[in-house]
Amino acid sequence: MDLAGGGLKALLMGRRFLVVAVLALGLGGLLAGWELSRVGVHQGYAPAQPIAFPHKVHAGDNKIPCLYCHYAARTSRHAGIPPASVCMNCHTLLEKQTVEIEKLKEAVQEQRPIKWIKVHNLPDFVYFNHSQHVLSGVACQRCHGAVEQMDRVQQMSPLTMGWCLECHREHAHIATADFQRVMQDMTHRPVPVAGLDCTSCHY
Amino acid sequence: MPKNFLVATYSNAGRLLQAAHAMKEEKFRIYDVYAPYPIHHLDEAMEIHRSRLPWVTLLLGGAGLLIALLGQFYTVIWDWPMNVGGKPANATLAFIPITFELTVLIGGLATVAALFLRARLYPGKRERLIVEGVTNDTFALVLRKRDTSFDTARARQILEESGADLIEEKAAEL
Amino acid sequence: MSASAMTTIATGVQTLHPPTWVEGNPSLHRITDDIARPLEGRPGKGWWICFGIAFAALLNLGGMVTYLIASGIGVWGLNNSVGWAFDITNFVFWVGIGHAGTLISAILLLFRQKWRTSINRSAEAMTIFAVMCAGLFPAIHMGRPWDAFFIFPYPNQRGPLWPNFRSPLVWDVFAISTYLTISLVFWYLGMIPDLATMRDRLKDRIGRIDKIRKSVFRILSLGWNGSHRTWARYEIVSLVLAGLATPLVLSVHSIVSMDFATSVIPGWHTTIFPPYFVAGAIYSGFGMVLTLLIITRQTMHLKRYITVEHLDKMAKVTMLTGMLVSYGYFSEFFSAWYSGNFYERFHFINRATGPYAWCFYLMVLCNVITPHVLWWKKMRRSVAALFVISILVNIGMWFERFVIIVVSLHRAFLPSGWGMFYPTAIDIGVLVGAFGLFFTCFLLFIRFLPMIAIWEIKGVTERAVHEVIVQEDEAKVAHA
Amino acid sequence: MNRDGAAKISCKGPKESLVRIGEPPVYWKSAEELQNGARPLGEFPGGLPGNSPSQQTEDTRRDFLAMMGFTFAAAGLAGCRAPVQNAVPLLTGSDEIVPGVSNFYATTCGGCPSACSLLVKQRDGRPIKIEGNDRSSLFGGTCATGQATVLSLYDGERLHGPLWKGQPVQWPVIDGQVRDALRAADKDKRPIVLLSGTITSPSTLHIIGEWKKRYPSFRHVVYDAVSLSAMRAANAASFGRAAIPHYLFDKARMIVGLEADFLGTWLSPVEFARQYASSRKPEGNFSTHVQFESGFSVTGSNADIRVPVAPSEMGAVALALLRRIGRYAGVTDVPDSTESFADSKKLDAIAEALWRHRGESLIVSGVQDLSVQMAVNALNSWLGNIGKTVDLARPSYQRAGDDAAMAELVEQMNRGEIHTLLLHGVNPAYDYAEPERFTQGLEKVALSISFSDRRDETSSRAHAICPDHHFLESWGDAEPVDSHFSLAQPLIAPLFNTRATAENLLAWLGIESGHHTFLRSFWRENIFPRQNERPDFESFWDRSLQDGVVVVPQKTAAPPVNAFHGDWKTAAHAIVNEPGRADDRYQLHFYESVALRDGRHANNPWLQELPDPISKVTWGNYAAVSPKLARKLGLSEGDVVSLKTEKGQMQIPVFLQPGQHEKSISVALGYGRKQVGKAGQDVGANAFPLRRQSTVNVTLEKTGRTVKLASTQRHFYMEGRPIILESTLKQVRMESAAAESGEALPSLWPEYPQGEHSWGLGIDLTACIGCSACVIACQAENNIPVVGKDQVQRIRAMHWIRVDRYYTGPEDCPASVHQPMMCQHCGHAPCETVCPVHATTTSSEGINQQVYNRCIGTRYCANNCPYKVRRFNWYNYTENAKFDFNMNSPLGRMVLNPDVVVRSRGVMEKCNLCVQRIQLAKNLALQGKRTLADGDIKTACQQACPTQAIVFGDLKDAHSRVAQLHRSQRQYKVLEELGTRPNVAYLKKIRNTTET
């Protein structure tokens, strides 16, 4: 009447084993699901830059407006990292010397482009246009967080589609229930409308 | 702890059936019958009432139906309505197939699960066979000797009359 | 069942002899032995040859699919005019095959058709393997199979973004997976008592292999001990499942047919598809069951249990469904003509006279003309004839799907978009490979699991039926 | 999938140092990185110290800077109005390139001597898209070839630097060698010859003039592979001016073409197409067009009456008309000739119509035969068209080839008389009628220098190759038509160590000031004085540079045009007595293919894969024969035949061409290049060598071999389906013009709420001539991959817009219609319902949007699309060695549009109404605090269309052009009866059969 293998016996412990197995599977599933959902999300990414540029000092303490350096954000899809010449606009005049500023000046002397590291990376297949958002009055901090308080820039937002949509849904005049009415009183003045169409971002 | 049983084994269902009816006449309560295939018309002899398992099917099938319908309504109409081929957001007709499938799926699985629970069937359960070959060619009629009031002699007599191949008293866990 | 009903059967029994579903009236023990033998003995040469071929084909499938996914759908002969061809043809073909099993085990159970007992187990197994093959194709026909999970409605970080519940493809996913699950459960449930039987047969044998097999059977048989109280519930549940599976089996192929019926393409866009597809499915399913059973009864020495009576019954069903299918073909042409729809008419003329006409006529030969051979009892009872016919049925039904899919696509609305489809080696390789998968599974099944429902056979052997009844009557007399 | 086409590409912005041989290119990952990674710091204000790249770098860069500088103010002026019109963009502070922002510059096309004026879209320092310049008074839109020239810029087969005897050298070495050789040649007075194709650049011609002064033994020979020298000769004889007239089709009410494909390839197709369309408006004037031709040309496919005629009978046609017109004009002694090609009633009718419209009729002939051209001249002058529709006073300079001069040069070369031979824009070793004769001669030349941009059949035989810039890299100007000037400016610093031919010619004259300086001074001295709009040269120059074009009053001292004094009688008799031909022989008819023209673009994969507008065949040429002939000889499509003339023979597959004259066999030139690059190598067969002798007596033999032609459309008849609706001018005029149609069929569903806009297209089938410019424009705009011959054969071409072509009527002389077919953006789209994952849905603005990254590739949508306009990525077409076209090399990928995703394997794609342009326009409107105006957004296909057949716009705005088209009485929607509710409306094709 005995059955084969001690391990097998353990396996065949009976009901209790069954319960445990079910619970384990359930938990494992949930964990795996959570992990999978975070694939490709780099929230909190804060790489060290070739020159430890402190936004805190510039944008925070000295209150330099974001768009002074990232001027392209007004007109282009890219906010743009300022060319070293923009840095030099001030740093040629400033006495203050630090190791980091030295690095900058060195680079300029040697014509060596500074290879910054991109912090906020959207997937390739999504089109994001800075100027569109800047002109529609979206504050930089809305997506980038309080950069003016950061010594090293860090990705605050998950940059997932769901996250984009949260904001777009707030400001959408499209596809809501009272859509018809909205369309009627929508003047033909260019009201910045956050699109909920796929082609607002994907093409 | 083991219980005491009076076990009669048969080599065909007919005699066993006969014995079962006789037992009923004599107000003996048949503990259970073990057979390699379901013997019809045994139920009344054993006073087995129609199983209530189909209700499980009805209830959980209904649940499946609701889950499917609400799920589709939520995703398609409420959560993110999209203009798909200019069709109106409310596409109830299009929901029917999936609703039906989920009803059947959940209903069916639930019923089987219920059966396993009710009949205490689960992987790794040790089978407890009252006699050899009840899963092959032997039929066993089992009476429980609950207390002294159980008239063993009479029972034996009836069983013998019914032509049991073997009658024995044994203690076992079933 | 009430006693009065009993007597009717009794009289019935005495007056005319019901067809004998088991020949030679074997003892219960003998039945167990006969059916268990193939599982316990060494497999014969025949089995090994078949398995070798099937397994080779399966390996080929693996290679083909790997290559396909590595390089892209372009390795198939598809093009911008004909976006589906062998892939979906095979899909529909296998789903169709999968229908006979559930029909036999569920619908015939509801109709209390005793002759189903010796074939339902293998028919169900066939269903499961066929649906597995079917499921393969929607998966590999995608351009990006690694993104297939987009189809399932799960909360996600894209908004969340849900699948399109209007799309018949999504219906398919639910239908096929439900069908596979329910069939599996039904099949397994029916097998539990037999697994117990196998378990208990192995009791006194010693030897590593047998020990392992025994403990596997033990796990699978869930501690079954033949209790009648369990039997009672068990039968109720079987009936319930049968009741659920019956509409399910009809729904599955109806939904598959909607992949086409809901479209706008002439030749696809037609309301007759659901019933016509279901009939076709059963037709092809019975074709495949015949093929398989004829092979197994010859090779596994089970002539006693799979009798000519069975074959005769199946032949009749095949003929009936074959004629339903023929009616479908006819009414398609009729409605095309009667509707006066230009594109519809053009399509059906093109079907019968266009570049793919030969497929159409092959289909007609196999599905419309062949079944009528079965009017002759001789044919219905000739194993050889039935074998040939069953093969023809399968060929015919494959081409039916090919004609529906490819011929409709290759000449749609704008002549500028017309183009031919020519299969590549990969197309054919995958087609063959699917058969490899199917037969490998089936051969393993008949080798390791009881391919005939032992307990059901026992339930219908003449001895069992007869003696119960006799004793029953005596019992009553005794009372009076 | 890869959003930035730019990613992983070495960017060479205009202000950035050149990639010199052996120097690794600067790689950058994103526009940001481009901005500070790939740009030297030297050019920022306050000029940071250091940074002195090599000499020639400085030059080019300074040129560019200079140009930028000069045009500051001008930009300010023009900038505010319509930025797209700027020749030079507004510059903010230090950088003229804002990453991610496109600038448009005007320049002049170098694709062929027609010298169309262009606008070029420059993005992150790379020209990525070519558009027509609407400021031009001659042109508008482009042709397919022009569109594709931007890809040739990024052709990896171009030479990376000068070669001397096959070895890479630096420029000074070449300069030294050449100067010595020239001095030697000059000393002993041995001929120095510049053999060039037609040069329309006045400044370059001026330099050549300087050479004549400097070297008395210098001579300039102009050679066009497909030349119009017979016409020049005829005009000299008839009007005392050896020139090509400037034709005005828009002024003509009655047009007769003799073997002249003026809408496809002949002389100046873009210009003529524009004129032609404007003369054929059902609502206004509608000219009648009669075409006599042997093959089926684009022009013929648009004719109201098309008469298939054997090449040998063209003279007879001219004569038949001449005789009839003569009767009207009172000239009776025109000799009789055969009229077997058409019944005389028809001819009478045509002649009558011509006479009725005398002064506003036009007869053009592309036949390279003096007598025929004389007859045509006689016709035009008797009809009083000279000075009206045929302008000789302001002739065209677009073809200046002189066959006689060329023939003589080749003789001289073979006699070993030529000392120095400069080859510019010519490839006689490939396209001369007697190539080996030329190459033998070339070996006898002491010094031969080719300016070709690559090792081709000719340059590989020359002593030195001094690779020319691509026209997008160089300065230049053009005068396509007398007094119509246009400028060319560099859009990018030269990718390779090349040098403009003009630069070379100057350098070797000893003028070191550089081409740009010379160009400016030339304009200051020669063109600026001829205008009086602008007081000072700078503003004149800036404006010209912005507009790209300038028209000035004609030179006072223009040579006179005499009245017709040609000897038409001799010509007539020459035609009558022309040698007959054996009846068992066939006649060859050669034509330039719309895509490859004379073969100079053979290495451009876009053009190789562009379906021929008529046959829809790609990747190779074929012998077009009439179905009747094919039946007679038992030929079927793809059978390889060998065509034999007295001197030569070629093997080529046949194509059954309805409407082909039974006795004639048409073969496209420009194929079968032997040395051009991997895309064009050995594609098709070279027909040039067969032109040497009379092509009248050709034998045709089966070889037994069969090949498969790669055709994108395999069925040519409509099967009686209402796909293209036609009507005649009469009917349209009869229907009340007020009648407006366009209400949609009833729907079972409630109307879906529309967004702020509702985008749609209107396509006028009457205007569409089938030139296929839209196809390439779309390909360039939307990063559409090239898939190669094999995939096209498998019906997997990727073009988002295809031009369907159907025949109607009898097969020996069918009429034909063209229909641009792209996604119809259905309101009730069948494709959307079936997609399991919502990868395609309708946007709130009516676009049928396709989301590549959501698509899982079930192809269900494509199956369910009634228009079959969806395209599936069967393979990875990017960075895949199996598809070794432009998308497989970093250089080739520089042409990609960074605003459009490069699709990966396994996803569906299709026309999305250039949604990236819509979004851009919205954004610009937002920046400009204004609303979108009709016409702000032009789709790529619309912009490229020379006849303005395609109109994009907002259907919600009742006044928009597209909305008007959707209300037009001619409007209909394809397969509307299916209830798909397309947002694309077609306007019926109208034919003018009233006149005859």
pLDDT in tens, A99-146: 889 888 888 888 777 878 888 888 888 999 999 888 888 889 999 999
**Cβ contact (<8 Å) for A175 and B123?**
no
Inter-CA distances, D89 with A69, B129, D63, Å: 21, 94, 16
Tell me what pLDDT residue D208 has.
95
> Residue C157: which of A3, A5, A161 has the nearest Cβ?
A161
**Residues 54..113 of B with a Cβ closer than 8 Å to C: which?**
54, 57, 61, 71-72, 75-76, 79-80, 84-85, 87, 91, 94-95, 97-98, 100-102, 104-105, 107-109, 111-112
Going by their DSSP bridges, the two strands D361-365 and D254-258 should be labelled as parallel
Q: Does B135 touch chain C (CB under 8 A)?
A: yes
- CB of D44 within 8 Å of any CB in chain A? yes
CA distance C472 to C464: 12
Q: Which residue has the tokens 């019923």?
A: B111
Interface touch C415/D715, C-beta < 8 Å? yes
Contact assignment for C162 to B79 by CB distance below 8 Å = yes
Flag if A76 and D29 touch (Cβ within 8 Å). Answer: no
Q: Which helix (H) or strand (E) holds D449?
A: strand D447-450
A–D CB contacts, 8 A cutoff, strictly below: 168
Query: Cβ(D393)–Cβ(D558) under 8 Å?
Result: yes
* Burial environment of residue C417 by CB neighbours within 10 A (0 to 12, 13 to 18, 19 or more): buried
Contacts of A41 in chain C (CB under 8 A): 157
Largest CA-CA distance found in chain D, in angstroms, rounded? 91
**Tens digit of each residue's pLDDT, chain C (480 residues):** 344 444 444 443 443 455 567 777 788 888 888 888 888 878 888 889 999 999 999 999 999 999 999 999 999 999 999 999 999 999 999 999 998 888 888 888 888 777 888 888 989 999 999 999 999 999 999 999 999 999 999 888 888 899 999 999 999 999 999 999 999 999 999 999 999 999 888 866 567 778 888 888 988 999 898 899 999 999 999 999 999 999 999 999 999 999 999 999 999 999 999 999 999 999 999 999 999 989 888 877 788 888 888 899 899 999 999 999 999 999 999 999 998 899 999 999 999 999 999 999 999 999 999 999 999 999 999 999 999 999 999 999 999 999 999 999 999 999 999 999 999 999 999 999 999 999 999 999 988 999 888 898 888 776 666 555 555 556 666 665
For chain A, list the contacting chains (3+ Cβ pairs, <8 Å).
B, C, D
Neighbours of B68 (CB within 10 A): 23
Question: What is the signed CA dihedral for A89, A91, A92, A97, rounded to 10 degrees?
Answer: 180
CA distance D642 to D629: 15
Most D-contacting residue of A71, A78, A90, A183 (CB-CB within 10 A), to test interface = A78
The distance of C174 to chain B (nearest Cα, Å) reads: 6
Integer Cα distance of C372 and C357 in angstroms: 23
- Whole-angstrom distance, CA of residue C441 vs CA of residue C445: 6
Chain C residues in contact with D820 (beta carbon < 8 A): none
Q: How far is C-alpha D599 from the geometric centre of its chain's CA atoms? A: 12
Please give the pLDDT value at position C477: 61
The answer to whether D669 touches D261, Cβ cutoff 8 Å, is no
Beta-sheet strands, E only, within D529-638: 549-551, 587-592, 617-618, 623-625
**Which chain A residue has its CA at the smallest distance from B117's CA?**
A15
Partners of residue C6 in chain B, C-beta under 8 Å:
41
Give me the residue from D750, D830, D843 closest to B85, CB to CB.
D830
Identity of the residue in B87, B121, B137 whose CB atom sits nearest the CB atom of C28? B137
Say whether C151 and D978 touch across the interface (CB within 8 A). no
Please indicate whether, in this complex, the C-beta atoms of D858 and C143 are within 8 angstroms of each other.
yes
Positions of chain D with pLDDT under 70? 1-96, 558, 579-583, 692-695, 736-744, 995-996
Q: Kindly state the helix (H) or strand (E) to which residue D448 belongs, with its residue range.
A: strand D447-450
Closest-CA residue in chain C for D804? C416
Residue with tokens 């069929």: D745
Instruction: Evaluate whether B155 touches B6 at the Cβ level (below 8 Å).
Output: yes
Q: Which residue does chain C place closest to B104, by CA atoms? A: C244
Q: Residue D598's closest CA among D669, D503, D513, D507?
A: D669
Q: What angle do CA A30, A33, A37 make, to 5 degrees?
A: 140
* Nearest-5° Cα angle at B24, B20 to B30: 60
Residues in contact with C450: Cβ distance below 8 Å, sequence separation at least 6, in sequence order? C35, C36, C39, C121, C191, C194, C195, C197, C198
DSSP state of D717: B
pTM of structure = 0.90
Measure in Å the smallest separation between the Cα of A112 and chain C Cα atoms. 41
Contact criterion met (CB < 8 Å) for B124 and A14: yes
Q: Is A150 on the interface with C (CB under 8 A)?
A: no
Provide the token pair at D511: 């003028």
Answer whether D916 touches A (CB < 8 Å): yes
Separation between Cα atoms, residue C355 and residue C419, nearest integer Å: 11
Asked whether the beta carbons of D586 and D700 are under 8 A apart, the reply is yes
Binary contact (B84, C164; C-beta < 8 A)? yes
> Rg of chain C's alpha carbons, rounded to an integer?
24
Residue in the structure block whose two tokens are 């005029």: D733
Q: Are the C-beta atoms of residues D504 and D228 closer than 8 Å to each other?
A: no
Q: Spell out which residues of chain B touch residue D832, defining contact as CB-CB under 8 Å.
A: 83-85
Cα gap C95→C251, rounded to integer Å: 12
Asked if A7 is an interface residue toward chain C (Cβ–Cβ < 8 A), one would say: no
* B118–C contact, CB cutoff 8 A: yes
Chains with 3 or more CB pairs under 8 A to chain C: A, B, D
Q: Chain A contact for D919, CB < 8 A?
A: yes
Using CA atoms, how far apart are residues C157 and C136, in angstroms rounded to an integer? 28
The string of DSSP codes covering C155-169 is --TTSS----TT-HH
Q: Point out the residue among B81, B82, B124 whose CB comes nearest to the CB of A17.
A: B124
Ramachandran sector of residue C335 (left: φ over 0; alpha: ψ -120 to 50; beta: rest): alpha
Element (H, E) at D479: strand D476-481
- Bridge pairing between strands D587-592 and D699-706: unpaired
E strands, C354-431, are none
Instruction: Give the model confidence (pLDDT) of B25-44 as tens digits.
Output: 888 888 989 999 988 888 88
Q: Which chain C residues touch A166 with a CB distance below 8 Å?
A: none
From residue D390, alpha-carbon distances to D273, D380, D386 in Å are 16, 8, 5
Give the one of D796, D830, D834 whose C-beta lies nearest to C80's C-beta. Answer: D796
Residues of chain C with C-beta less than 8 angstroms from the C-beta of B34: 225-228
d(C-alpha D654, C-alpha D635), whole Å: 8
Both tokens assigned to C324: 């339903």
Residues of A in contact with C217 (CB under 8 A): none
Helix (H/G/I), strand (E/B), else coil: D700? strand
Using CB atoms and an 8 Å cut-off, which of residues 751-770 of chain D contact chain A?
753-756
- Confidence at residue D93, expressed as pLDDT on a 0 to 100 scale: 40
- Give the 3-state DSSP-derived string for chain B, with helices as H, strands as E and coil as C: CCEEEEEEEECCHHHHHHHHHHHHHCCCCEEEEECCCCCCCCHHHHCCCCCCHHHHHHHHHHHHHHHHHHHHHHHHHHHCCCCCCCCCCCCHHHHHHHHHHHHHHHHHHHHHHHHHHHCCCCCCCCCCCCCCCCCCCCEEEEEECCCCCCCHHHHHHHHHHCCCCEEEEEEECC
Measure in Å the smallest separation between the Cα of B81 and chain C Cα atoms. Answer: 10
Residue D648, phi then psi, degrees to nearest 5: -135, 170
> What value does the CA radius of gyration of chain D take, rounded to a whole number of Å?
28
CB D828 within 8 A of CB D815: no
3-state secondary structure (DSSP) of residue C339: helix
For residue D188, count other CB atoms closer than 10 A to its CB.
Answer: 8
The CA distance from C82 to the nearest CA of chain A, in Å, is 26
Length of chain A: 203
